Chains A and B, each alone.
Chain A
């Protein structure tokens, strides 16, 4: 197999890759020029035809999302760039923003032209300080060069990009949570409908796209639909709902591997290839026990499911929630799944916004049950209870306002079904993952 030529990560190793001059020297902002010469709807249709699906987690068609905006709306229409990358194990947006910010900014400008927006907000995860500084400098460069602001490239197109830093909440990555937060409120996701395309930021039509999605847009403009569709996995003819998984994708590989990294490959690579070839294999000569396919809310692949294709449909076929952010976390065979699951649950209960009852209470309860199991006081019934709680709080499609509950429930459901034996053995053994001192603390 020939080595894949990176698209989105092509420039990241160049010296001073974040600077405008270098980006233009590599042909940057020609895609924008091309887009501005096209009618906005033609750009939307081009993106729709390319089959580009959102890289943020849900995999919704980007072009279709854009076309949901009301026709002939007097405006304003907003673009929100979801850069609140906080799914555990995910760090691809960070690389894109830190190493090649103009690729993103060009994508933003093209998208804004397509959706007739003159204002874009980048909602940046608070912890990404370097991304903030790099993006801030890049935006200033663009204003100075006439690539943002009034009359961009002499076409009369006007666009302002504002960079907003979050305050450290996972829920702000949910699109309506992001919008609420941007409006200065608590990031409590909104009930839908209305979807943001109809009523979003400041009650105006709004499109929320992930950083990587917008970066792809730039290249679709330059290289065209056929090129984009030459990568990835076409739709399964036996599954009418499968739209295919086209284009390049950044896979983040972390956990118990020799070489954690972010690698760009066409959609549809096998988990096993990612671990063995790109991640340098499982560390310390061990074997993988479980693999998170795309951020912990997607659940777990077991060791015999490693030949699953990591495209938008693949993980779903083996009981996972989906591709998610394609953040692959490898768990070796020396690690207790009880401990792994506890870690997932603790994260989700900490990040649950507290709005909907099942998620607020369910995430905390599951954490408490696992805490108890980890002190050696688990019962075999706890396994079924965990499953029942997870099942009642996250019945896809969910019983809650946003997807956090489903994402919190999925790893539990996967873990206790795929690794049930290990849970039973752990509980039967009466052992504890925590030190006697910690146990004493937990008892009080």
Chain B
């Protein structure tokens, strides 16, 4: 295998692989500091932070080093290449570059949103000098709050890596951002009255290695070192972007994309990024409810759950029951619910709640006329739910087909069912008054949801479930990629994650464990066999 030597450490790479020095060093566990380089963007090699010494190992073992420092990001590795990132010469260049970058930097770390996750801080700490030799006044260009509806620019913190500019040109294609002026007066800006409001705009905040571009939504809300992070999957469309959920004390502060080459790549859309506010909405269902003749008689899980269990069992004895599953459920929840209801009766109708679709798949980059350009680098899907494919797999296994909710409600209105179990989850609503009227003909209606709906208003039992940030389980995206979501926060009030509700409803012993259910489910459902022994890991598994 071709081999490259990073600080005397051999690193092998595939003959077909195209790596630059930064990536090769990463493999060796060596950090070559860099600002402008980003794997999803074109190479500009302008920040000069990644300067390294390179050379070539001759067949006789002698090493011929090139006399000048080379940007590691711009230099592809070849067999026998020698990369040195810790020599005095390299260290001096790193120190000099950092000193330059900090010359006009305001050093306002105490009030900067990026503090704690800032590459200026980190690299200064590791490679910089401890003090500034600048005696003259710093440049202080004014901040630009008009950059975008969601984005603000602290102009003086910018190091002009141009990642954001390249993102809007190469990924969104919308090209709102640009660099104006020359030399050390260069600044990021927009054309007047053409703010950066494209649907992927929030990514420039993540791309910004310093605290220049900030999210107005997150600004001054929390110090990042107080945030804990859970790996999750964005539920807002069937692309299923891998994300980080950043929380503190049961409060979500922001979502960030998590790199996943099997899912979306490096980015996420603003619909997903900012579309979690309902998680902390005042209207959230935060108590379980048992009603008798319209009046609530209990809000105690220990009363409500047994009551639901008894009502279901009795209804199953009297006649047919139906369940409406939600494309917002995890595989495990869908499996738990259906296998439980199956255990009660064979006279079971299974349907799936409407899959909300909005427009068509929205592909990026776009040209100036808004037309999609090839190759597609990001897609916001029309299907606005995380797990239609997964839930349909479960339904197909147990019912042989996937029935739309309308069919089940139609039969319900003619009194076909003694009980119905409906699961919601779509924060934009999934049932209207007219549809819900059919439930009046059903004796026992159990609704498991996170927000009130015309169905929950009619239900005998309402089970307050959890949003995506509160649950464990597996989502299957549009392409059949199974990825796990992890619990980041506790549900508001007495709300419980749906897996736990269903586990307890089924009177399974012990505590709900998504992994245990996943194993059982993979064993039972042939289509999910790949999940049997494998760990889903951070990237997920293609089904």
Contacts and interface: CB of A to CB of B under 8 A. Distances in A.
Contacts, number: 93
Interface in B73-101: 74, 92-93, 96-97, 100-101
Interface stretch (B176-184, B372-380, B382-390): B176-184
Contact of B67 (A191, A372, A397): A397
Interface string A387-412: 00000110101111100000000000
B182 A357 contact: no
A358 B103 CA distance: 11
Nearest to A189: B46
B135 to A, nearest CB: 7
Nearest to A365: B103
A175 interface: no
Main secondary structure of the interface of A (DSSP, over half): helix
Interface stretch (A228-236, A260-268, A344-352): A344-352
B159 A395 contact: no
A392 B96 contact: yes
A355 B44 contact: yes
A363 B160 CA distance: 16
B184 A363 contact: yes
Contacts of B269: none
Given A191-B74, A397-B67, A397-B68, A357 B97 contact: yes
Contact of A353 (B49, B101, B134, B183): B183
A369 B137 CA distance: 11
A140 interface: no
Interface in A173-191: 186, 188, 191
B186 to A, nearest CB: 4
A358 B48 CA distance: 8
Contacts of B104: 361
B181 A354 contact: yes
Interface string A355-395: 11110111111001101100000000000010000001101
Interface in B370-426: none
A169 interface: yes
B96 A350 contact: no
A363 B183 contact: yes
Contacts of A186: 179
Contact of A356 (B48, B92, B93, B182): B48
B84 to A, nearest CB: 15
Contacts of A399: 48, 51, 68-69, 93
A176 to B, nearest CB: 13
B45 interface: yes
Contacts of B30: none
Interface string B317-345: 00000000000000000000000000000
B43 interface: yes
B136 interface: yes
A369 B136 contact: yes
Given A191-B45, A357-B49, A357-B100, A364 B68 contact: no
Interface string B460-501: 000000000000000000000000000000000000000000
A169 B181 CA distance: 12
B47 interface: yes
B133 interface: yes
Most central of A169, A360, A362, A363 by chain B CB within 10 Å: A360
Contacts of B101: 357, 361
B48 A352 contact: no
Contacts of A372: 135-136
A357 B45 CA distance: 10
A354 B103 contact: no
Interface string A300-327: 0000000000000000000000000000
Nearest to B134: A365
A358 B44 contact: no
A363 B44 CA distance: 20
B69 to A, nearest CB: 6
Interface string B183-222: 1111000000000000000000000000000000000000
A442 to B, nearest CB: 10
Contacts of B100: 357-358, 360-362, 365, 393
Contact of A360 (B43, B96, B184): B184
B184 A352 contact: yes
B182 A351 contact: yes
Contact of A401 (B46, B97, B184, B185): B46
Contact of A361 (B43, B69, B103): B103
Contacts of A385: 133
A34 B43 CA distance: 45
Nearest to A377: B135
A357 B69 CA distance: 15
A42 B157 CA distance: 56
Contacts of A191: 43-45, 71, 74
Contact of A349 (B43, B48, B49, B183): B183
A372 B71 CA distance: 33
Contacts of B69: 395, 399
Contacts of A360: 100, 160, 183-184, 186
A364 B184 contact: yes
Contacts of B49: 357
Contacts of B46: 188, 355-357, 401
Most central of A351, A355, A357, A398 by chain B CB within 10 Å: A357
B115 to A, nearest CB: 21
B184 A354 contact: yes
A349 B104 CA distance: 14
A363 B185 CA distance: 12
A189 to B, nearest CB: 10
A354 B160 contact: yes
Given A169-B182, A351-B182, A361-B101, A398 B68 contact: yes
B46 to A, nearest CB: 5
Interface string A149-192: 00000000000000000000100000000000000001010010
Interface in A17-44: none
Contacts of A363: 183-184
Contacts of A392: 92-93, 96
Contacts of A365: 100, 103, 134, 136
Nearest to B178: A186
A369 B103 CA distance: 12
B182 A352 contact: yes
A302 B184 CA distance: 31
Contacts of A364: 103, 139, 183-184
Given A358-B96, A361-B100, A352 B51 contact: no
Nearest to B49: A357
Given A360-B160, A368-B136, A395-B69, A354 B96 contact: no
A171 B134 CA distance: 27
A392 B69 CA distance: 11
Nearest to A193: B74
A350 B183 contact: yes
Contacts of B47: 356-357
Most central of B45, B47, B100 by chain A CB within 10 Å: B100
Contact of B183 (A351, A368, A398): A351
Interface string B110-143: 0000000000000000000000011110010000
Interface of A: 169, 186, 188, 191, 349-358, 360-365, 368-369, 371-372, 385, 392-393, 395, 397-401
Given A351-B182, A355-B46, A363-B183, 11 more contacts: A191-B74, A354-B160, A354-B184, A355-B44, A357-B97, A358-B96, A360-B186, A371-B136, A397-B67, A399-B48, A399-B51
5 contacts: A191-B45, A191-B74, A350-B182, A365-B136, A372-B135
Interface of B: 43-49, 51, 67-69, 71, 74, 92-93, 96-97, 100-101, 103-104, 133-136, 139, 159-160, 179, 181-186
Closest 5 CB pairs of A and B: A354-B186, A361-B100, A364-B184, A392-B96, A368-B136
